A and B are shown apart, each in its own frame.
Chain A
């Protein structure tokens, strides 16, 4: 059909819909990439624009429906200065990765305008805001700040042009939609690659017949992705990549590719793989890909169970003996239970996407990644060529976007056979099925206490269900949590014919703490002890004790109901749990600080997935000079810059802040000297500038008169010998552990078994916090992802075909706006004085014990413990029976 006319951001435009959706027309034809495409099925809200003044999703809206209508996108909204809601989101830091932000802005701005019309400057209730934003999902978990920001804006606090605080250095680009993510890039001649995936859960691929597909018009090439091993180990495993002029052509061609399999018997999922006589899911001596930060340790297979790793055990046989003896006599202080933890999917709002281009022998990859530098090194090694990796903004990652991921290989190989740049972008089903997950787990736990409340023995066996991957340490983490008693800790990876996992924020900890912290509460109950007091006796670490004190004094904890004591339909429950994380850093990072063209800048090959890395980098320089963060230009997101860290294992800030500080300190010293020369006499440094001849001269006034210069620095050494002798995969484990307390209040509707998280108090002891507003956002995000794991999230797998059923965000249920509690965050900035800069990371710490605390809260409300997550209505009702 022909073209239609639509008004977009005040301009009349003629567009040709050709059977596409509105979002495609806006993003591709009109280049308005502020509107994002995430879920593609109408539930996440990332593609929200105003149509005739009403916020509407455009990913499931036919482009023809725009005929004669008036569309405003985030670009249009921002054209004449920021909307109050944008100011408010910036000031409250109601965003992290920013991928949901434009859609959020459009929905919130419409609500704001309506509210103001009807209510003036009255403050809307939380529920009103939640209802308006019900269809806007924020996987980063910025909900608490978003809701508060919208309420503030409705009160009229941001009506003037400002200025208002903007703690996040790339915040403006994100709230206006001008931040370009990998998914927003296009260039001339860009081809699309789609991945050919196995339809068999376990087979050898004997042949791939792609000739017919290659003969179709528009198809540009097929590249194999299996390599020498022709074995596929899960349904959906990439076999090859088919490249065509556009996605539709590539998908159509994919249909005529014929794959010849020699199937092997398959075992899909944990139970099938552990069953007696289960078929072998692995090859002899095969090391599965890792679902953790480092490669899986060497291990033997017992059937399909790889392991055990029991290196973290301590007086293993004593622990075994004590548990056995207690069991034999029916010791009431022996708590035994088998816990089942579901698979948690990362579900980043920006899908896995990579664009590769070969020029002669050099390779450039634009990719949504959390590991620019290491990806560059790995690709350079693999392809023996010069590699550039570029990733300026990343729409969420949470662990799944590190190392050489499948879409990167597919794009690189596809570009090679096609001789042209190729993009590989996962659709939602691929993203939620194959791009990684936190492995599920079965945890057998026995915990024995003495009548005086001493921890006598712990026995934990974990069967991590990472599909065709391995490396999850779960049981071993008990040692770090309660180190005193004899403990028998065994970790198995159960290898099955299911999609592989990836590291997910704090690998292992949420799983083990759900088991352990419930058991501790149970012991306290049986002893008639206060759960916090009991834990005091089990840990000697001073930071933990600070947290115990904080929780014990908190009104939410003091006013908690007795276990199962609440009556009536709605029951309040309060739960606590404590978590720990390592202090890790990359000792090899390099950061440059420079004065260029009268402006301070700082650079390193760093990526910001919403954790605020760019802001932390700028803060280090701003702190040194005493200038505003906004006065420092950040160069990052490009591997040609100085070597940056991978953003995982909470190492980013502890790596780059000290290095950036060191560079800044040297630059500062050099500039002081230069200033003295220019001013012709001695100068003295003061915050924000220098004094000369009794007069204060701010740095910005001096910069124009000083010559450009650039200094580079690494990370200064720690004041304490590190815990590990050398870095593994770029992580050095430093001395000292960081700690967290999660205190959660829920409301359980006993009529339906539904759980509403109400309030959370979270206290973190991780040393100095470099960018407090952003750190708070990240902590809230960890809390909400943790609540998700406890209450709602679970990957559902069809145990016969191996297909992932929870393949859209409607059925993979992570917390939405209405599931957002109020969160109070407290930082205890102690304990890492030996670290340069004084701070450890917080990304993982923030999630560790959040699920356990949530489960303990529900248990407190209903008077029953929960061996199985998530706490769906059916499970809660069952517990209430």
Chain B
């Protein structure tokens, strides 16, 4: 493996290869042989570090912040990553967590081809997609793996990008219609930090088939800021999904259960994932009930 270690953003942006932050995802893919080529190690770049509370009570989290460090913040950020096992949290970074590649078992298998690996079909769609999406919004049927993204989307966080425009975290991912990508950052674009506004009330729910699962079945984050509630879900769509219909129902005065029922609006489950629909609704209901 060829490793570049640029010292600043400009040379990182110009370097050739996949970025590597904590490396937990990149190293695994290289070990499996499903990713090859040079890597550009971001660990020597000071601009990507730092965890600062901003004047308005929000927080700016550098992309190279380790997931363990989020524990010091407490609140939604800490809760969102608690399901990732501690030894990985100590290595993985916020940037890598948000921009990691899918955990689809076809994609991660050393001997398969799929839409994300140069193939021309998705073997999971006709095959075994037990942990797949319920919002079938694109050719790829595996949910986006990030646990932090739904939480950031719920807070309305902004991603600071080097080499491209800043944007809402929500807009880092698109609608999942392009199966080749797990996020929309292009070559030379580097996530520098996320700006997380302060929130008044929040909640987080993770549903796992077994404790310490690599990928939860469903995750829901809810956050309220200045009377505006945002709800987002992971585990259900090719991109972290904002649940607007739920938000609207709450705004219109619906109770938790009634609003939660709206979580499945737009859902089109696969044969093997229909069970996730009630799980999503239940998780949203709990998230609304426990908003504190």
Contact = CB atoms under 8 A, between A and B. Distances in A.
Interface in A533-583: none
B19 to A, nearest CB: 12
B197 interface: no
A753 B126 CA distance: 26
Contacts of A754: 207-209
Contacts of B24: 42, 57, 60-61
Nearest to A49: B87
Interface in B91-138: 91, 103, 105-106, 108-112, 123, 126-128, 130-131
A135 B31 contact: no
The secondary-structure label for the interface of chain B is: loop
A806 B82 CA distance: 24
Given A798-B128, A803-B111, A65 B23 contact: yes
A251 B20 CA distance: 23
Contacts of B20: 62
Given A40-B28, A43-B214, A65-B43, A56 B91 contact: yes
Contacts of B105: 796, 805-807, 811
A112 to B, nearest CB: 14
A511 B2 CA distance: 49
A877 B275 CA distance: 8
Contacts of B127: 798-800
Contacts of A136: 87
Interface in A115-145: 130-132, 134-136
A878 B109 contact: no
A64 interface: yes
B73 interface: no
Interface string B1-12: 111010000000
B31 A64 contact: no
A752 B86 CA distance: 24
A51 B90 CA distance: 9
B90 A43 contact: no
A21 interface: yes
B79 interface: no
Contacts of B43: 64-65, 67
B43 to A, nearest CB: 6
Given A800-B123, A819-B211, A873-B275, A62 B41 contact: yes
A655 B94 CA distance: 55
A441 B169 CA distance: 47
Interface residues on B, range: 35 or more
Contact of B2 (A19, A751, A873): A19
Nearest to B131: A811
Given A48-B87, A801-B112, A61 B211 contact: no
Contacts, number: 167
B12 to A, nearest CB: 14
Interface in A30-74: 40-43, 45, 48, 51, 54-57, 59-62, 64-65, 67
A874 B132 CA distance: 13
A62 B3 contact: yes
B28 A199 contact: no
Contacts of B131: 811
B193 to A, nearest CB: 20
A43 B85 contact: yes
Contacts of A59: 27, 31
Interface stretch (B51-59, B229-237, B245-253, B276-284): B276-284
A813 interface: yes
Contacts of A877: 275, 278-279
B137 to A, nearest CB: 22
A816 B31 contact: no
A266 interface: no
A142 B236 CA distance: 34
Contact of B87 (A55, A811, A818, A819): A55
A792 B88 contact: no
Contacts of A807: 105, 108-110
Given A42-B24, A803-B112, A134 B86 contact: yes
A134 B211 contact: yes
B177 interface: no
A791 interface: yes
A601 to B, nearest CB: 40
Contacts of A427: 31
A43 B88 contact: yes
A155 B1 CA distance: 47
A791 B215 CA distance: 17
Contacts of B33: 251
A674 interface: no
A51 B66 CA distance: 13
Interface in A793-829: 796-801, 803, 805-808, 810-811, 813, 815-819
B31 A40 contact: yes
Given A107-B87, A752-B279, A877-B275, A1 B210 contact: no
Contacts of B212: 43, 134-135, 816-818
Q: Among the interface residues B109, B110, B212, B215, which one has the most CB atoms of the partner chain A within 10 A?
A: B212
B147 interface: no
Contacts of A55: 86-87, 90
A447 to B, nearest CB: 30
B286 A57 contact: no
Interface in B191-217: 207-215, 217
Nearest to A808: B108
Nearest to A21: B27
A803 B43 CA distance: 37
A873 B215 CA distance: 14
Contact of B123 (A57, A67, A798, A873): A798
Contact of A816 (B41, B211, B286): B211
B150 interface: no
A429 interface: yes
B88 A811 contact: no
Nearest to A251: B33
B65 interface: no
B208 to A, nearest CB: 7
A316 interface: no
Nearest to A197: B111
B211 A810 contact: no
B68 interface: yes
B22 interface: yes
A872 interface: yes
A703 to B, nearest CB: 47
A107 B86 contact: yes
Contacts of A41: 28, 31
A135 B88 contact: yes
A644 to B, nearest CB: 36
Contacts of B103: 810
Interface in A404-445: 427, 429
Contacts of A752: 207, 279, 282-283
Contact of B31 (A21, A132, A806): A21
Interface string A105-118: 00100000000000
B33 to A, nearest CB: 7
A813 B130 contact: no
Contacts of B32: 429
B86 A1 contact: no
Nearest to A17: B3
A61 B86 contact: no
A53 to B, nearest CB: 10
A436 B199 CA distance: 51
Given A107-B86, A810-B103, A878-B275, A65 B210 contact: no
Contact of A45 (B1, B27, B85, B286): B85
A429 B108 CA distance: 10
11 contacts: A41-B28, A60-B23, A61-B24, A62-B41, A65-B43, A107-B86, A134-B211, A135-B87, A798-B127, A810-B215, A817-B212
10 smallest beta-carbon distances between A and B, as pairs: A818-B211, A135-B85, A810-B214, A19-B1, A874-B275, A56-B90, A57-B87, A62-B23, A60-B24, A816-B212
Given A60-B28, A873-B275, 4 more contacts: A21-B31, A40-B28, A42-B28, A878-B275
